[in-house]
Structure 1
Amino acid sequence: MIAVLGGGVSGLAAAHYLNCLGLSTKILVIEASNRLGGWINSLKHEDGTIYELGPRTLRVAGNAGANTLALAESLGLTERISSINYSHVSTKNRMILVDGKLHMLPNNLKTVFTKNPPFSKPLAISALSDFSAKKVINTDESLFSFVNRRFGLEVAKYAIDPLTRGVFAGNARDLSVTSLARRMHDVEQQYGSILIGLLKDRKNAEKADPVLSKSKLVKQAKKEKWAVWSLKGGLESFVEVLEEKLMQEGVEFRRNTPVLGIKRSGSNLVIQTDKEELEVEKAISCLPSNTLSPVIRSISPELSRLLGSIPYVTVCVVNLEYPGHLLNEPAFGYLVPSSQPNKVLGVIFDTCTFPQGDKTILTVMMGGYWFKTLFGDNPSDESLLDVAINEVKETLKISIKPVRHKISILTDCIPQYVVGHSEIVFNSRKLVKDLKLPLTLAGNSYDGVGVNDAIMSAKRAVLSL
């Protein structure tokens, strides 16, 4: 028996890729909660309105993006895809909020060469700083520090800082450049300049996977210049179809079954739950590292310590629904730099990307790295809703009350790839190998926090068995 620990999207993907190997052994997915899919969660109202409580779109770029598209095609989801190309307003228009005003980020060649507030000079001028910036030899540093050194404080403050808040709900001053922008760091270390290095080092840029490139859906996405995509009925449809296929193919699921411990039994592992002990030949852990940490302690305190050293942040997501089309400036939404006094990370304009009739649906993101500082340990739903509504009222000038809302506190939902993260992951996997454990680590704790990254991490884990 092979056990997959965790029934989030990486766990389901691991089970799928294991099944594709045609193994004769049984595949078992063990999930602590009563549902599968992890943070992918689409709330479907009776009138057909959909709120995304977690991830809402998937990027197309790179082999990880192509891999998810190929998986969607194999699941028969092609006709259910809703795609957005690079010319769409929600792809082009992205804003930041500075000093109470919304500013459009440069999105074409003309605006890169034009001075756009809050930047005091054109971004093209900031880019030239890279040629004169001194190389600092290191193995890692914060993303904020790296960009500040190479391109100046404004780029770090108004581009990188809000971007990391939107993607990681994290602090760019803590997050690792080698984990989040390794190629930029590598070429700087080798050539002394990012721009020169990217030109000279083109041979080492990611090449398109020739197998994935044969997918009809990947070809269609490339031809039609898709930027992102989702599914009619919400992104959770992806999880539902994948789950159904796995069940049809004989994969077994144990819900409401938290893993309480892992022991050795000769060359096998024993997975301890509150219901039973399961002896397995191999296990792929797609559990968050902070969940795996205590259950692996009896085998290796050092591995437990390494896994437990990866921090996580909690995000509050507030979905707000208003009647009519109320946005003056169509866009993907806006992000708020950490230098601003606002309590929100950003606001996503959901119905600009995927309209849902005569209504405006917004998603307000709050907390992350700053959750406890801003909201304490147990904020009330009413207080969180007030913050979200007041933000929309003050910034977007929407003064009417929402007709419907949903408040979700996603506890420890995003791992933080702080400086030294790559070393932690490397040492953790090396220790598993040195201990000769039939265990593989996969998921968004290690190889990227996005859905595409989690699926690709699961695929690589299976192929490494």
Structure 2
Amino acid sequence: MAPALPLADEPRQITQCPMPRTVVVVGAGVSGLAAALHLTRTAAAPKVVLLEARERTGGWLQTTRTEEGAIFEHGPRGVRTSGAVGKNTLQLVSELGLDPEVLPVTYSNAVIRNRYLFTGGKLCALPSSIRSVFSRLPPFSLPLVHSLVREPFVRRSREADESVHGFFTRRFGQELADYGVDSLCRGVFAGDSRRLSVRSCFPALFQAEQSFGSVLLGMLAGAGATKWDGVQTGMLERARRERWAQWTLRAGMQALPEAMEAALRSRGVEIHLHTPVTQIRPTADGACQVLIDGGTLTADHVFSSVPARVLNRLLPPAWHPLTEALSEIASVSVAVVNLEYKGLVLPVLGFGHLVPSAECGEILGVVYDSCAFPQQDRPGQPTTRLTVMMGGSWFTAAFGEPGSVGAELLRQRAITAVRQQLGIAAQPLRTIVRVHQDCIPQYGLGHWKLLTAISEFIEHNRLPLTLIGASYQGVSVNDCIYQAQRGVECLRD
């Protein structure tokens, strides 16, 4: 059975097979939860067992709800509505009965329009309208329109892959690559645009150039877009009508996996927390044994949503070509420091700012949480919630090993960054420090080859194994949910 790994521009034949009787899902992050839910949606649903090594489900979706009523996110804090994957997640939210809990931000909101770079020692507003494209905005020496006008005339590349930085330098110019795209990759992947693959990180842009010879023309033609064929729920219609850009949940993003877990338990899914998997090995009859502390589970099929390098350590030596490919998919660690200040202390209104790597390697950016979702501030006297993102590809060089860095060092560095970049000199009312080790996979050059090798090995050997999760085809919440559901659909076909 082929896993949900082939790229959209390289479809592969899916072998038909009956739905297995017992499925074990390894990892109860949002991918594992989504796969388990999708498995229970048919009358002939298999027995589903969900295993999680930690004490809770949800993975990197983590929320702190304080006694004062404030909400602090330690992982993803807002979900985009655009595209088929965005609609798919909103449909899931509706199915879980969470419609009343959704807090949207529309495209008309200044928070969405106002985004900044911190470079040259100051905040610089990014272009946010048609008019601003024709204006010269620091740090760019020319209006953005100059880069856009020349792009359709740039010759397409014949290379099978290219770094994100190289792709944008070639098509849009050095400044856009050095400031805008460098910062974007730090905000999304906490990674270095000079090492990340444009084919895997931004597949729609890569396909647009390959198919149309131009990113702009290809995107106008809808290159790389996935068709939405789901149910048009009331919330989807509202999101379209009101032009939602992003949304969160009133009680924080952790409310999503909490609702998914509750739905799974109501459907009879076995969920085992504090249950790390120690080994996955094949049986003579084509099934799998999943070894846990104190026992062994036999599964007709296994869904793995754990990071690629974690899965690599669980598989048998005989699957060497697969484990070798998995070991090549690296990830980076991110320190997340939540800060709460007394009063309205931000000098600007906006979603937040990113920091180019040339300006400050270890500070990736600052999110202005109180601007985007003021409903999650503590009631009463006004306060300002901020989140400082640090580390990523620069973590070890700046702070040392993620497992041993002290919380006070990270706290002080975050406070210093807020003082230097936003001019906020006061001490915060509250500070929460989290270090997420190996939390964001890095799709390096040739990542697509690793996916092809993984898919071919699993399909050729008819392994009862499907790989889902952020390690493969998208790191966002939307991508993880969509790919998990697609993996289940491939199993059903």
* TM-score normalized by the length of structure 2: 0.91
Distance change (3 Å), C-alpha of 1:27 and 1:221: same
Q: Which ranges in structure 2 are unaligned for 5 or more consecutive residues? A: 1-21
Equivalent position SS for 1:398: coil
Q: What are the equivalent positions in structure 2 for 1:118-197 lying under 5 Å apart?
A: 118-197=139-218
Out of 363, 369, 374, which is 2:393 matched to? 369
Aligned residue for 2:105?
84
- Measured in 2, the distance between the counterparts of 1:128 and 1:416 equals 31
**Does the 8 Å contact 1:143/1:173 carry over to 2?**
yes
- 221-230 or 333-342, which deviates more: 333-342
**Does the 8 Å contact 1:262/1:299 carry over to 2?**
no
Equivalent position SS for 1:284: strand
- Measured in 2, the distance between the counterparts of 1:15 and 1:429 equals 21
Equivalent position SS for 1:166: helix
- Measured in 2, the distance between the counterparts of 1:232 and 1:189 equals 42
Out of 446, 453, 469, which is 1:427 matched to? 453
CA-CA distance at 1:430 after TM superposition: 1.6
- Measured in 2, the distance between the counterparts of 1:109 and 1:361 equals 31
Aligned residue for 2:485?
459
Aligned letter for 1:210?
Answer: D
CA-CA distance at 1:416 after TM superposition: 0.5
- Which segments of structure 1 move beyond 3 Å, counting only runs of 4 or more? 196-199
- Measured in 1, the distance between the counterparts of 2:362 and 2:228 equals 42
Equivalent position SS for 2:72: strand
**Does the 8 Å contact 2:362/2:392 carry over to 1?**
no
Aligned letter for 1:360?
Answer: T
Aligned residue for 2:14?
none
Q: Which ranges in structure 1 are unaligned for 5 or more consecutive residues? A: none
Equivalent position SS for 1:162: helix
Out of 231, 239, 264, which is 2:249 matched to? 231
| CA deviation vs aligned residue, 1:267-292 (integer Å, no higher than 9, x gap) | 11000111211111111111111110
Aligned residue for 1:243?
261
Aligned residue for 2:3?
none
Alignment length, in residue pairs?
A: 462
- Measured in 1, the distance between the counterparts of 2:207 and 2:299 equals 40
CA-CA distance at 1:299 after TM superposition: 4.0
Aligned residue for 1:275?
294
Equivalent position SS for 2:194: coil
Aligned letter for 1:163?
Answer: L
Equivalent position SS for 1:379: coil
- Measured in 2, the distance between the counterparts of 1:388 and 1:129 equals 40
**Does the 8 Å contact 1:262/1:298 carry over to 2?**
no
Q: What are the equivalent positions in structure 2 for 1:60-71 lying under 5 Å apart?
A: 60-71=81-92
**Does the 8 Å contact 2:332/2:438 carry over to 1?**
yes
Equivalent position SS for 2:398: helix
Equivalent position SS for 2:338: strand
Aligned residue for 1:412?
438
- Measured in 1, the distance between the counterparts of 2:143 and 2:364 equals 25
Equivalent position SS for 2:289: strand
Aligned residue for 2:345?
326
| CA deviation vs aligned residue, 1:92-127 (integer Å, no higher than 9, x gap) | 010001111100000000000111000000111111
**Does the 8 Å contact 2:309/2:329 carry over to 1?**
yes
Distance change (3 Å), C-alpha of 1:441 and 1:207: closer
**Does the 8 Å contact 1:162/1:336 carry over to 2?**
yes
- Measured in 2, the distance between the counterparts of 1:197 and 1:382 equals 48
- Measured in 2, the distance between the counterparts of 1:24 and 1:55 equals 31
Equivalent position SS for 2:332: strand
**Does the 8 Å contact 2:361/2:394 carry over to 1?**
no
Equivalent position SS for 1:279: strand
1:300 aligns with 2:319: yes
* TM-score normalized by the length of structure 1: 0.97
Matched-pair identity in %? 39
Equivalent position SS for 1:345: strand
| CA deviation vs aligned residue, 1:202-250 (integer Å, no higher than 9, x gap) | 4x552541324x2221111111100000111111111111111110110
Equivalent position SS for 2:40: helix
**Does the 8 Å contact 1:297/1:303 carry over to 2?**
no
Aligned residue for 1:443?
469
CA-CA distance at 1:148 after TM superposition: 0.2
| CA deviation vs aligned residue, 1:31-52 (integer Å, no higher than 9, x gap) | 1111100000001111211110
Distance change (3 Å), C-alpha of 1:137 and 1:273: same
Equivalent position SS for 1:464: helix
**Does the 8 Å contact 1:271/1:277 carry over to 2?**
yes
| CA deviation vs aligned residue, 1:331-356 (integer Å, no higher than 9, x gap) | 11100001113531000000001111
- Measured in 1, the distance between the counterparts of 2:477 and 2:180 equals 23
| CA deviation vs aligned residue, 1:364-390 (integer Å, no higher than 9, x gap) | 000000000111123211111111001
Equivalent position SS for 1:158: helix
Distance change (3 Å), C-alpha of 1:183 and 1:25: closer
**Does the 8 Å contact 1:429/1:441 carry over to 2?**
no
Aligned residue for 1:6?
27
CA-CA distance at 1:65 after TM superposition: 0.5
- Measured in 2, the distance between the counterparts of 1:216 and 1:196 equals 33
Equivalent position SS for 1:270: strand
Aligned residue for 1:38?
59
**Does the 8 Å contact 2:308/2:326 carry over to 1?**
yes
**Does the 8 Å contact 1:96/1:102 carry over to 2?**
yes
Q: What are the equivalent positions in structure 2 for 1:111-122 lying under 5 Å apart?
A: 111-122=132-143
CA-CA distance at 1:421 after TM superposition: 1.0
Out of 2, 17, 22, which is 2:43 matched to? 22
**Does the 8 Å contact 2:308/2:327 carry over to 1?**
yes
Aligned letter for 1:417?
Answer: Y
CA-CA distance at 1:257 after TM superposition: 1.0
Aligned letter for 1:332?
Answer: F
Aligned residue for 2:422?
396
**Does the 8 Å contact 1:263/1:299 carry over to 2?**
no
Out of 359, 370, 374, which is 2:383 matched to? 359
**Does the 8 Å contact 1:169/1:369 carry over to 2?**
yes
**Does the 8 Å contact 1:263/1:298 carry over to 2?**
no
Q: Which has the higher contact order (CA 8 A, sep 6+)?
A: 2
**Does the 8 Å contact 2:207/2:224 carry over to 1?**
no
Q: What are the equivalent positions in structure 2 for 1:307-346 lying under 5 Å apart?
A: 307-341=326-360, 343-346=362-365
**Does the 8 Å contact 2:55/2:273 carry over to 1?**
yes
Aligned residue for 2:18?
none
Aligned letter for 1:372?
Answer: T
